[in-house]
Structure 1
């Protein structure tokens, strides 16, 4: 059976040709990441209001991520014959509902249920958006297109999480989630207006002697992706807790995250200008920056000035990671773009959820000072996979 096609489809072109669609995906990605990561900035306040410890409150990130990791591939396969645009709109509607539930919840259990709904939406959203971005342009422009879409994720860290954190600190985390729900509703209209429908190609059938090798390359990219996200979120989930312990005021957390997010945009820009030319070197430079930055954060803790200086290197490296792994995965051609998007999404969220859980265990056991060291070690293992898997991470595109 052939895969379905939307009634009106756009043929791949240049990034300029697809500007409207890329803008819509970027805005939606911005709000998706803000929805996913908002608890990070208001974790202490949520834990206090809901009557749970900070390590238990961190499970709100874990629950969300593991919903994505578990459901990304099955949901993508079950919905592969549905029109992509309508499905994407459905995920944004679910984000809206998730934020409403969290804003109105009176208990931790209801908050967790609302987050689980968002996790289901997230399982499909990033699987769809990664594939959608690659379908809007010719293969030669994949790296730049995905970097622009991923800029929405970086902007989520730059503006979404810090501003909503500041709002949550000033007037309460419930107001922050309610405001985010309104923004998601507005994005629903924007995507409906600007994003064109795309053609969904049928899955490959018949014998293909190169398919096993391509799948092997995709498996290596997925493994490295999971390891890097595991290390990153071992630290990032508890960044507000670490900064507060180092002496930063509660009102200062939002502005600091804002600056770090801006530095992440610099990393996203770096990926955008290098991924279509030297993707392997670009990714290795970014991973080296993350490892060195996290290690420096560990060595300087609890000196606030030293930690803020070390976080510059870490933040710039993080900004380049998402689009680098997305582009590497798409270029393996190890599956259809939708399934590749689902694998990238699932493995990233295995890392996010596992990192939140691992960081909480380190926090409760060895203590805050060891959290960045643990993150650095895991990212280093991911970097070694990239270094050794030369066919999965080639020096030049194609």
Structure 2
């Protein structure tokens, strides 16, 4: 009996394969931790590697750039291989890169390890959503994707603060060492509990251009780009925006946002399989309302955390809703390639939004940031409303 057949038989028509889905959840958690942990460790890493803190920040930039560049070509090159070995290879790649980072005293070596980790990240993100979709019946697809992508939210809201705390107590090298160990354990867990799926024979592979031209794909990618541009323009510069209000507790604001995203992704998991379009429209309306309130009254200390909480609930579920729509438009068989395109667009949105916010911050001050985010969020909502037939039925 093949592994796929066994997985399908044991899963049944309505069951959720929790051990396998939780392995994918942990893979998403590990990828986010690997990408963003240096941002919380700028002073100690800079001192140990004898470089300014800004160059430690480039470790995050290098990772994102490598992920952006690698997602589509690496995914296309690996389409013919069985899926589980590729997934395990990416997880072991994370383990090696984090181990090198933990041991390295050379900035060039550390930067090279981060570039390789970015390639692993681009490969992993292109696989996770499609993998989750193939592990469950179609009527459970949205919930399975929500479970896996919750790893992102947990990493942002709990993992990064915990990693920073470990680094404060035991040193930053210990934090990366623990991530390396987690990658090895996770690879074994994946081998044990995650089913294998065959690669695509050359004769059956849909060309990349044809996948991009499938009805609904362009609309979903457009919503992804517009949403990330607006969100990131505001989120990257929450600290200066918070300081202008006199609220003065950026850490608390970020904690409110992180906890609210957990609530948002939980709510999305409940609604997504029955009301994907309505839930996404509601989330984007809430997000637009939060930006409007921040623009009008964000300098009122009592209003700021409440508006940020609404923002977090709205944004927490939006990526899951959009990625589920993408898988529905492409079909699970072509989901890896479609998701690799979305990974590229996602990173472009992060980079573009951060750049836009930085330019506006320098030129007009933090008060203008919500007004820059609002039309981008509104544009993403307009695309969702217009693309009713194929992208968001």
CA distance in 1, matches of 2:346, 2:105: 30
Q: Are 1:314 and 2:307 counterparts? A: no
The CA deviation string for residues 307-346 of structure 1, in whole angstroms up to 9 with x for no partner, is: 3222101111111012101110111136712212212222
SS in 2 for 1:197: coil
Superposed, which structure 2 residues align to 1:103-252 within 5 Å?
103-104=102-103, 111-168=110-167, 173-200=172-199, 215-240=214-239, 242-243=241-242, 248=248
CA-CA distance at 1:157 after TM superposition: 1.8
SS in 1 for 2:216: helix
Q: 1:340 aligns with which of 335, 338, 341?
A: 338
CA-CA distance at 1:227 after TM superposition: 1.6
CA 1:7–1:311: 2 relative to 1, 3 Å: closer
Taking CA–CA contacts closer than 8 Å with sequence separation of 6 or more, which of the two structures ends up with the larger relative contact order?
A: 1
The structure with the largest helix share of the pair is 2
CA 1:257–1:17: 2 relative to 1, 3 Å: same
The CA deviation string for residues 216-255 of structure 1, in whole angstroms up to 9 with x for no partner, is: 3111111111221222222333445655675646xx72x6
Superposed, which structure 2 residues align to 1:55-70 within 5 Å?
59-70=58-69
Tell me the residue number matched to 1:374: 372
Contact 2:125 2:340 in 1 (8 A): yes
CA-CA distance at 1:299 after TM superposition: 4.5
CA distance in 2, matches of 1:129, 1:189: 17
CA 1:192–1:358: 2 relative to 1, 3 Å: farther
CA distance in 1, matches of 2:271, 2:370: 28
CA 1:166–1:309: 2 relative to 1, 3 Å: farther
Q: How many residues align?
A: 385
Contact 2:217 2:391 in 1 (8 A): no
Tell me the residue number matched to 1:284: 281
Give the gaps of 5 or more residues in structure 1: none
Contact 1:9 1:197 in 2 (8 A): no
The CA deviation string for residues 182-239 of structure 1, in whole angstroms up to 9 with x for no partner, is: 33333223222221212445588699xxx78971311111111122122222233344
Q: 1:262 aligns with which of 259, 263, 266?
A: 259
Q: 2:354 aligns with which of 327, 331, 356?
A: 356
Superposed, which structure 2 residues align to 1:90-105 within 5 Å?
90-104=89-103
Tell me the residue number matched to 2:82: 83
Contact 2:232 2:349 in 1 (8 A): yes
SS in 2 for 1:10: helix
Tell me the residue number matched to 2:25: 26
CA 1:17–1:287: 2 relative to 1, 3 Å: closer
Tell me the residue number matched to 1:294: 291
CA 1:212–1:85: 2 relative to 1, 3 Å: closer
CA-CA distance at 1:31 after TM superposition: 1.5
Contact 1:6 1:83 in 2 (8 A): no
| TM-score between both structures, scaled by the size of structure 2 | 0.83
Tell me the residue number matched to 1:329: 326
CA-CA distance at 1:8 after TM superposition: 7.4
CA distance in 2, matches of 1:337, 1:233: 25
CA distance in 2, matches of 1:212, 1:385: 20
Give the gaps of 5 or more residues in structure 2: none
| TM-score between both structures, scaled by the size of structure 1 | 0.82
SS in 1 for 2:80: coil
Q: 1:10 aligns with which of 7, 12, 25?
A: 7
CA 1:42–1:7: 2 relative to 1, 3 Å: same
SS in 1 for 2:274: coil
